[in-house]
Structure formats: structure tokens, C-alpha cells
Amino acid sequence: MLKKFRFTTSLLKALPANDPLARSTELEFSDTEVTGLKLLSGKSGSKRFLLRYTINGKKTSISIGRFPDISLQIARKIALQYKSQIALGVDPKEARLKEKSKHSIPTLSQFFHEVYLPLAKKRKLSWRDDKARFMLCKSIHLVRYDELTAKQVLEVQLDLSSDTKAHYSYAPATCNRALALLKTMGKLAENYLGISNVALKVALLPENNIRTRYCDIHETQKIIKAALKYPCRSSGAYIALLFLSGCRATELRLRLWQDIDLKKGILRIPKTKNGTPHIIYLSDYMIEIIKSIPRYAGNPYIFAGKRGVKPIYQPRHAFDVIKTQANIKNSEEVVFHTARHSVASNLISNGADLSSVQKLLNHKSIESTLRYAKLNEATQRKTVQSLSSMIQA
């Protein structure tokens, strides 16, 4: 592959993304028409122009913009303007920084609330999670974005992953979600403000905290029985239906009465975590439980809160009481999402085909469903035993 050639728009569009396994972050290509003009192609396929140059004996570079947002013609024009400044002994990067300093650069907190969050609310169902993750980064909230350094981002990661006077260490996954947010914000800041995304220089922590806990059929029966006896019928029915439907907790908790058609025996989820609508087919037992849920005048939610027109909050206390009454061992390991694990694992271990379970859980890929097939100890023992039996026969 030629790395140096005369740039044309069609050739630039055809350039490949950098290999995901490559050590370098980006592939670099050089223009033969304007010396120093480069196009960098990232691992995600994004492309950007920059100019490499030497001034006062120091090699450096200045970004020009993303392709094709900035056309090749304009990129060459900007590069030539920068080269004219260099010929006069003016560093274009320093000149641009001075120009930027004349204008107001937001702090990270301002950028998050004024730019990132409004966009996230339109694009993500989980934008509230981003608010919580950003709160973990308080030490850099008031830092002006163009003054943020990779060292400061690393210090946030080190703080979150360590025991301090203010908090115990967070799980690697939690630390990584906060860092991933800073990387995403940095990408927006790079696009909108021309600021380097320094968060990309900080590596994610290795994760080894995948939950393998699930409730077998016997435990599931005990939880549902205790849930249906719980004094708050909305909370009890909600927890019971989690262990019968395999729904994600938030997706079930926010359902409206208009989402249910009891005659057809279906529950509609207009938009799931993966961005698609989903239909849950209700069993007779599930319909019986739904019919027992009290309705509150003016409240459209199935699992209605007792005040106003809101749904119940996540009933953590109720779940703790129910687990205790059901005599669940190591109950602290059983969380709301365990219900989803349990539905999948119990179905697979009792002969349900993976494709059906995939559709029930609304997984985009079968790989997500296969994770649950690995949870059942009895199934794994049976598989190992079958091989031994064949060998010994």
C-alpha cells in the first residue's frame, strides 16, 4: 500500500481503516503536492488532516480537521497558510492557541452539561448513567478543557481504583465506564473545539468481574413465592415478573399499562437497550400476576409509585427482604440483573434452543446468549461426563 501519493478525494475516501491489532493508533499517508500535509486513518475508520513541520529545530504538527468534513481543497489551502506562517518564523500551533485563548473555553463540567448531556439525552437511553459516571470525576470538573492533561485523567483513574479516605476502590468496570465517558467527551471536544483528546492516552483497566451467579429453578420458585407475598404488591409483582420474563430491570419497571395487551398476551417494549422494539409473550401465570397489580388513578405505569405519576423506584429494600424470606444463600450476589441471567440459564439447561432464548432476551448476537450457556454447573458436568462415558465404553 502506497503511503505517499498525490491526494485526491476519491483516493482518500478509499483508504482503509487502521488494523485494530496494529500497535500504532492511526495509519499515516503523505501528500506529494503539499509537503507535510498528512491524512491519518484511525482504527474506527475516521480520517483527519494534519500538517507536520519543523520550526526552530523542533518537529511538531498541527491538526487541520476531519475528512470529509473538511475537503481536500480546503485542507491544502489551510496547510499552505500554515506554511506561510512557518516561513515567517511564526508557529501556527502557538498562534492558534493564542487565538483560542481569546475566546471562552468551557470547563469539563460546562462542556458535559451544555454539549455532551443534551446530545446524550437524544441518543442514549442510559444518559442518566453518564451523569453518575461524570460525578466520579469531580477532581477535573472545573479544569478548562484545553488545559486538561493525560496525567489528570490518569489521576482520576488511580483515585477511583484505590481505597481513599473518601471512598473504597471501585470495580475495574466502574472505573472503565468513567474513563470511557471522558474519552467520548474528548472526541466531541476534539470535533467542536479542536482540542486534543488526551483521555485516549490512558488505557482501560483489565476487567475480571463478570457475574456468574444465577438462581436455579428451586431458588427462582422461592423468590417468586416470597415476592408475591410481599406487602407492596407493585414491588412484589415487579420482582416476580423479572424472574419470569428475563426483561432488563429498567425496561420492565418503566412499562405503561398501554404497553400491555392481555387479550393477546403480549407486553411491548418500544425501545430496548440495543435501540430496537421488543415484544414479551406473557404466560398465563404472568398474566395472572399482572392482573393482581393495583392501578392508581392518573398514574400510567404498571408498577406505579404511591405518589404522583411516576413508577416505583428500584425496590432494593423489598428485594433484600424477599431474598431473606426465600432463604437465598449468598444473597448479596443476587442482584436485579441476576433474574435475567437466571431466566436464560434455566431455559438453556432445560433444553430450550439458543435461538429462542436469544429472541426472548432480545440479544443482537448469539454470542451474548452463549454466555448464559456457560453458567450452569450441572450442564457442564453432564458434558464432561458424557465424554468420559464415551471414552470408557
pLDDT by residue (tens digit) across 231-287? 999 999 999 999 998 888 988 999 999 999 999 999 999 888 777 888 888 889 999
pLDDT at 378 over 70: no
Rounded mean pLDDT, 156-169: 91
DSSP of 93-136 = HHHHHHHHHTSPPPBHHHHIIIIIHHHHHHH-TTHHHHHHHHHT
Rounded mean pLDDT, 153-172: 91
Tens of pLDDT, residues 167-212: 889 988 899 999 999 999 999 999 988 889 999 999 999 876 555 6
Question: Cell numbers of 237, please?
Answer: 409483582
Query: 5 in helix, strand or coil?
Result: strand
- pLDDT in the model for residue 86: 94
Task: Give the pLDDT band of residue 331 (cuts 50, 70, 90).
Answer: confident
- CA dist 180 and 198 (Å) reads 12
Greater model confidence, 28 or 381: 28
- CA dist 164 and 46 (Å) reads 39
Tens of pLDDT, residues 34-65: 999 999 999 999 999 999 999 999 999 999 99
**Do 217-385 and 4-101 have the same topology in CATH?**
no
**What φ, ψ does residue 313 adopt, rounded to 5°?**
-75, 165
- pLDDT in the model for residue 380: 54
- CA dist 82 and 61 (Å) reads 11
- CA dist 304 and 257 (Å) reads 10
CATH class of 4-101: alpha beta
Rounded mean pLDDT, 23-31: 93
Average pLDDT of every residue of the chain: 88
Among 2-16, 246-260, 359-373, which stretch is predicted with the lowest mean pLDDT? 359-373
Contact criterion met (CB below 8 Å) for 77 and 154: no
Among 4-18, 161-175, 224-238, 374-388, which stretch is predicted with the lowest mean pLDDT? 374-388
- pLDDT in the model for residue 207: 77
Taking the CA atoms of residue 115, residue 120, residue 126 and residue 128 in that order, the dihedral angle to the nearest 10 degrees is 30
CA 210 to chain centre: 15
In three-state form (DSSP H/G/I as H, E/B as E, the rest C), the secondary structure along 261-319 is ECCCCEEEECCCCCCCCEEEECCHHHHHHHHCCCCCCCCCECCECCCCCCECCCCHHHH
pLDDT at 362 over 90: no
- CA dist 39 and 30 (Å) reads 7
pLDDT at 392 over 70: no
| DSSP 8-state class, residue 364 | S
Tens of pLDDT, residues 223-239: 999 999 999 999 999 99
Architecture of domain 217-385: Orthogonal Bundle (1.10)
pLDDT at 391 over 60: no
| DSSP 8-state class, residue 54 | E
Domains of the chain: which residue ranges?
4-101, 108-201, 217-385
- CA dist 106 and 376 (Å) reads 51
- CA dist 15 and 36 (Å) reads 18
- pLDDT in the model for residue 319: 93
